[in-house]
Amino acid sequence: MVTKQVIDNTYLRRDEIERLLKAHYGISDDETMAAVYKKAFEEIDLKKLKADPLLRRFLQKRRVGVYQDEDGVFAPAIKTAWQAEGERLMYMMFLGEPTIGYTLGLAQPAEGEMTRWQTFLIMMQAVPYLWRSEILQKAESLPVPRHTIPENLLPYTRMYWSWEGCRDAYMTNQDTGERFEMEGDGMLVWYMPPDYIQAGILGSSRKEGQQAVHLLPTAALRIGTTWPDDYNEMEQNSLSPLLAKLSFLNSPFVSTERERLPRPIRRALKKATAADTEPPIHVVKLREASTPNGGAGGTGSEFRHQWWVRGHIRAQWFPSMKGHRLIWIREYLKGPSDAPIIRKIYDVQR
């Protein structure tokens, strides 16, 4: 497995991270970080990466394992944990291949190679998550409450979120009206010292025989700011889906447990003397329904009916984090378990 953890998944100051990276790559302290990224990029063993058993299996299955979406378009489907890891490795390969183009937002191509080196390093260290479609639909339909962006918001400092299928993404230049559209495979989410959280949607395209990787960045979250007060309308539209998804990772009703690779892949990796045959891969899905968390007790009032409490995102204050942690609360029945359920019927006429 071609993975390399230069620094542990802990929250460090910018100077601490830079010092560790420079020491790892043998770069003197008076050099800029551009020298670190360049050195790391030069050390890529692209041949070894392309020979990775998991990546090869993923690329083979990706060509034949297709699904048909609502519009009748056939596209690769990501359905299992190992495929999410395969997709991450595929983008590492794309970013490491100099013949494949790279664009950042509306830049054609991205200015300089530094952004490409940075993206490769982030992807190399990212922990993959596979998001089930039902979770994405729920998350993106819920409003995000007012709260303070906390420290340690991310489970890992670098994550790659893979979707089960391609999702449309676009970026518009507000000054010129220029618009770029693509089909996104997933989202790269990372902590950017000293106090920012950045994300970008990843996709690839092939036009006139030229393949390219595209990264559409969202606005940046800043730790310690107040949502939504400190963000303009455009930033809110960009960041609200990201915050909603993070709330689901904190929810007790959502499972984000690690899943193992299939045994044949583990054997192939072991045979190839891979450094990591058990990479951390998480699948984000709903837990099995359990006892409702409402109930009749605790208020001193007697309820004669049960009623449904709508699913919502709760902002819970954590003093140790100096901010709120967003937690998704699943819809549940409230009231005595033996009482009749109140049913609401709405006649929507206008």
Record the pTM. 0.74
**Residue carrying the six token digits 């044949």:** 264
Supply the Cα-derived Rg of the chain in whole angstroms. Answer: 22
Quick one: CA dihedral 161, 35, 214, 74, positive or negative? negative
The 10s digit of each residue's pLDDT in 296-311 is 444 444 555 554 455 6
Answer for the pair 261, 85: CB distance below 8 angstroms, yes or no: yes
**Looking at residue 276, what DSSP letter applies?**
-
H or E element: which one contains 123? helix 114-125
The 10s digit of each residue's pLDDT in 22-74 is 887 788 888 877 777 778 777 778 888 889 889 998 888 775 545 444 455 55
The pLDDT, as a whole number, for residue 270 is: 80
- Cβ atoms within 10 A of the Cβ of 150, count? 19
The 10s digit of each residue's pLDDT in 6-28 is 444 455 566 776 787 788 778 88
**Looking at residue 98, what DSSP letter applies?**
T
The pLDDT, as a whole number, for residue 321 is: 67
The 10s digit of each residue's pLDDT in 125-139 is 899 999 988 888 888
Bridge partners, 161 (sequence order):
129, 187
Domains of the chain, residue spans: 14-293
Bridge partners, 200 (sequence order):
188, 217
The 10s digit of each residue's pLDDT in 293-350 is 444 444 444 555 554 455 667 787 777 767 787 877 766 545 655 555 444 443 333 3
Average pLDDT over all residues of the chain: 76
Query: Among residues of the chain, what percentage have pLDDT more than 70?
Result: 72
Helix, strand, coil percentages in the chain from 3-state DSSP, rounded to 5:
30, 30, 40
The pLDDT, as a whole number, for residue 143 is: 86
Q: Is the pLDDT of residue 227 over 90?
A: yes
Here the tokens at position 7 are 């620094």
Residue 107 binned pLDDT confidence (cut-offs 50, 70, 90): low
